[in-house]
Amino acid sequence: MSHAGPLVATLVVALTLAFALGFAARLLRLPPLLGYIAAGIAVGPHTPGFVADPAVTAALAEIGVALLLFAVGLQFHARDLLAVWRVALPGALAQITAGTLLGAAAGAAGLGLDWGPALVFGLALAISSTAVSTRALEEKGRLSGEAGRIALGWLVVQDLVVVLALVLLPVLAGVGAAEDLGTKLATTAVELTAFLVAMALGGRVVLPRLLAVVAATGSRELFTLAVIVIALGTAFGSSAVFGVSPALGAFFAGVLLGESPLGHQAAAETVPLQRVFVALFFVSVGVLVDPAAMVAMPGASLATLAAVMLGTGGAILALLLLLRVPVPAAATVAGAMTQIGEFSFLLGALAIGAGVLPEAARGPILAAATLTILATPLMQVLADRLALRIEGTRRMRAWLARRGRARLSHPPAQGLDGHAILVGHGRVGRVVATALRRHAVPYVVIETDHRMAEALRAEGVPVVWGDATRIEVLKAARPEAARLIVLGMPDAAGCRRVLDMARAANPAIIAAARAHDEEEAAFLEREDGMGLVVMGEREIALGMADFAMTRLGVPAEEALRTVEGLRSGAAGR
């Protein structure tokens, strides 16, 4: 007789299949999340063999999303989110409106819904998946940049709209009186305000002091346990007390705790557990997939998919461009957020349970969610390429030039000749700048962060504030007189755009760029004028190989030749 309960059986089988199929996907150069979803389909109720407990899987997935958002929040400061509210708030509200109307039209045409249910159906198609979007940005190394800040602000607004939608559902279902709607909305507003106040006080005062007390004990186990308790306790306490989603509660706890000196260590402690449970989130998506339901109404499913692609991805890109967000950042946000997920499942399931939507609506929602999640990596690649095409059009170049002249913060650098241009003064650019300064090599920095640009300017560093992908901003750094350009940008498409403009002004300029994975490295290394592409893991391995060889008696010149051979061999693959 088996002694394993549904929790143990579900956890073991789901993780085993997630590992096996995720590993297979990686061998095929596909994102592991495709393997995780395939594992969920394999253990789901609609395929033969072992069937995972759906309640257990959903609970484990919710823990994973909370831990993921807590870790993401730890990487940000409150001022980072406040800096993008003027873009995220109006943009997200406009996108949700457009997405809801397109989704409602799809529901009316494909399912024959009346206007009330159609709007609920449309809203379920207008909310991006927080877990998928943040994971996609993180894997591409773009979560900490401008695109990541905008995306997170956008997702927070979407989450708050979902909270209000859940208040409206009973009224639409006819189980609540319409005259009670004002009272319910007022109660919800009070709860959200109380939540924000509690997060501000607890996150800035109580949580850092609690972690400091635990850290003073010197016990790593207790510190790790304290971080997990804070993440999950805040997530589910916020849900139970204030009615917000666990993910939103965990995210704000992470944002505020990240202000403390212990924030980095707290982030490190959550990473292993977060990765395991996030894999289970994608497994839970696969468990929900019913191939028969997805193909039962092909017309409605295709209309739903089109509504998501246009009402989320297309609307986000168009709105960000109208809000004067740089094209590469706008494309990055749109590519990462062109999908629906956990909140769409929640809204759809509750609306079906309340009788607002028919059971037939479940299939198209699941079809759109599954297909868009699977297509997220492809959408990111297409978005990057679209950004290059958009910027290459004559009208867009003229528009960018006008915006560049209007937004240029500092006058062009004067008196520089034979200098280096450092695009970005983050972890990469800061080290390069220090090295150049020690040898009195002239350089100018292009920085998108206004506070950073002002701080550098106060130190006497030649700096241009703005987006280097805008021709007028790059011109201010005088690329025609520069000898070298160091591209510390987080995306390969942006690097390519800047390099093309720099080489148009100065064909002899030499470039160095960073890459986050082999695909980006290969993409950049094919560019003319690229002298060096640095990928973190590869350079760490080469540095350690060089150290090992020289310490074991290999002559320095031979070791250098070996390292260069390995580097060129890796580049050629």
Choose among 255, 329, 254: nearest CA to 87.
329
State the pLDDT at residue 406.
38
Q: Which residues of 554-564 are buried (b: 16+ CB within 10 A; e: fewer)?
A: eeeeebeeebe
**Residue closest to 102 by CA, chosen among 124, 120, 122:** 122
Count of beta carbons in the 10 Å neighbourhood of residue 169: 17
Residues 104/115, Cβ–Cβ less than 8 Å? yes
Query: Which pLDDT does position 99 carry in this prediction?
Result: 92
**Distance between CA atoms of 197 and 166, rounded to whole angstroms?**
22
Residues 510-520: pLDDT tens digits?
A: 888 877 666 66
Task: Find the DSSP H helices in 75-129.
Answer: 78-82, 85-111, 115-124
| pLDDT number for residue 573 | 46
* Rounded Cα gap, residues 377 and 61, in angstroms: 21
Q: What is the pLDDT of residue 408?
A: 39
Q: Under a CB-based contact definition with an 8 Å cutoff, are residues 110 and 300 in contact?
A: yes
- HSE-CB at 322 with a 13 A cutoff on CA atoms is 12
CA geometry: angle at 445 spanning 439 and 448, to 5°? 155
Radius of gyration, alpha carbons of the chain: 25
CB 91 within 8 A of CB 337: no
The vertex-304 CA angle with 299 and 308, nearest 5°, equals: 150
Q: Where are the domains of the chain?
A: 8-392, 415-572
pTM over 0.75: no
Measured CA to CA, the distance from residue 335 to residue 375 in angstroms comes to 10
List beta partners, residue 487.
Answer: 423, 513
Confidence at residue 153, expressed as pLDDT on a 0 to 100 scale: 86
DSSP 466: S
Across-strand partners of 340?
none
pLDDT-flagged residues of the chain (< 50): 1, 175, 178, 404-412, 571-573
The Cα angle at residue 556 between residues 553 and 560, in degrees rounded to 5: 125
Which contacts of 14-23 are long-range, i.e. CB under 8 A and separated by 24 or more positions?
14/39, 14/40, 14/43, 14/52, 14/57, 14/60, 14/280, 14/283, 15/276, 15/279, 15/280, 17/42, 17/43, 17/283, 18/279, 18/280, 18/282, 18/283, 22/279
Domain 8-392 has CATH 1.10.645.10: no
Sheet holding 510-515, edge to edge: 463-465, 443-447, 420-423, 484-487, 510-515, 530-535
- The two beta strands, 530-535 and 510-515, are parallel
Just give the CATH number of 415-572.
Answer: 3.40.50.720
Task: Show the tokens assigned to 223.
Answer: 């510190």
Q: Is 500 helix (H, G, I), strand (E, B) or coil?
A: helix
